[in-house]
Amino acid sequence: MAEGEDRRRHPQNLQGVLRLAVEAGSASDGQPAPEPMSQERSKWLREALSEACKGQMDEVEQMKQCLAILCGEASPEQEQGRDGEDADEEEDEEKHSALELLSDLCENLDNARDLMKLGGLDVCMSSCLCHFQSGVRWRTAQLIASCAQNMPEVQCYLLNMGALKTLLQLTDSDSNPTVRVKALYAVSCLVREQEVALQDFLSLDGFSVLMRAMQSECEKLRMKSAFLLLNLLTAHPEHRESVISMGMVQQLVAVLRTPHSSVHEHVLGALCCLAQERSGVQDCRSSSLCLEELLTQRVQELHNREECQEEVEFCEQLRSICFEGQPVDDCVMDR
């Protein structure tokens, strides 16, 4: 094989490197490799794997440097020239950048696990998540969400640290709307598809937090809370009765009466879930809500809008469940 041809057969990315390594390993196990590996190719493979490992080590070093910034451990070069308010502003910017870089790095699940082992989540909980600066708070919540998503090991670690309680408190009462939105996103990453977290969510009255969030003036917060409610009611029908007993049907109908927005689609989906229970149907049929008229009006308004067809389908489904073919005796009197 010519030297140029051998070089062209070298993989050009990490996936190709790993494939080549597997082939070499198969040959060492006595299984036939697709072709003999030349000395040059073998040398290139060793160097490529070394560079890949070095890149991973570089990311760990980057995380360590970010944690040093978050802990206030500036280098001597950084300390020089700092003075007064400018120094405080520069320090805040450094923390923002460190948190953003950590969030990007922790989209990689291995990095999220490494950050946990480095004590990074402890730093987040002890000094960043409740920091006086809102930019630090919301970026920390974003980082927690990045680490927790699809990572049961990290989720359990955060739950044991009381992260869910703090995140729900921020969602419920933080003065900054971005903090509230990011905190709720982190709650969603902790709770969805995690049974232990869901039990903590219930014990912390998480559904009431979602109910209040849907009444917020912040559109993003309303959207995320309605989406999470719909997801939880769909995945965990055993909790629908307790949610109905909280007065959720009445609250959701009140949200439907606000100026039309994309939030309404998730709200109607949640109402359809609750209407799978007899008590949910009874609440929907309460004459004080005038829900049947509202659904009819909404279908008339939206039926020609292609982007709203799923919302129209939810309206028709809910109207069918609650108001078509149901005996009058099922109605609930005004309370």
Query: Which CATH number characterizes residue 121's domain?
Result: 1.25.10.10
Give residue-wise pLDDT tens across range 210-219.
999 999 999 9
Pairwise pLDDT comparison (86 vs 250), residue with the higher score: 250
Let me know if residue 14 belongs to a domain: no
Domain membership of residue 146 (yes or no) is yes
* CB-CB contact of 137 with 176 (8 Å): yes
Cα 263 to chain centroid distance, Å, stands at: 18
Identify the pLDDT of residue 311. Answer: 95
Phi, psi torsion values for 68, nearest 5 degrees:
-60, -40
Does 191 score more than 70 pLDDT? yes
In a domain, 79, yes or no: no
Higher pLDDT, 325 or 59: 59
Q: Using pLDDT thresholds of 50, 70 and 90, give the confidence band for residue 122.
A: very high
> How many domains does the chain divide into?
1
Token pair in block for residue 316:
């028709």
The pLDDT of residue 150 is 85
Residue 108, domain member (yes or no) = yes
Each residue's pLDDT tens digit, 143-158: 999 999 989 999 999 9
**Cα–Cα distance, 124 to 143 (Å, whole number):** 9
Residue 223 near residue 180, CB atoms below 8 Å: no
| 175 φ, ψ (degrees, to nearest 5) | -75, -15
DSSP 298-316: HHHHHTT-GGGHHHHHHHH
Res. 117: pLDDT tops 60: yes
Does residue 263 belong to any structural domain of this protein? Answer: no
CA-nearest of 213, 203, 215 to 239 is: 203
Rg (CA), the chain: 27
112 within a domain of the structure (yes/no): yes
Poorest-pLDDT segment among 23-37, 93-107, 178-192: 23-37
Specify the pLDDT at position 23: 56
Q: Report the candidate in 87, 154, 149 with the shortest Cα–Cα distance to residue 124.
A: 154
Closest CA to 272 of 309, 229, 308: 229
Dig out the tokens for 325 from the structure.
Answer: 């073919």
Q: Does residue 158 lie within any of the structural domains?
A: yes
What are the tens digits of pLDDT across the range 51-104? 555 555 589 999 999 999 999 865 445 444 444 444 467 778 999 999 999 999
Quote the pTM value.
Answer: 0.77
Distance CA 38, CA 62 (A): 36
pLDDT of residue 6: 46
Nearest Cα neighbor of 122 from 80, 151, 162, 84 is 162
SS3 at position 36: coil
Q: Which domain holds residue 140?
A: 94-204
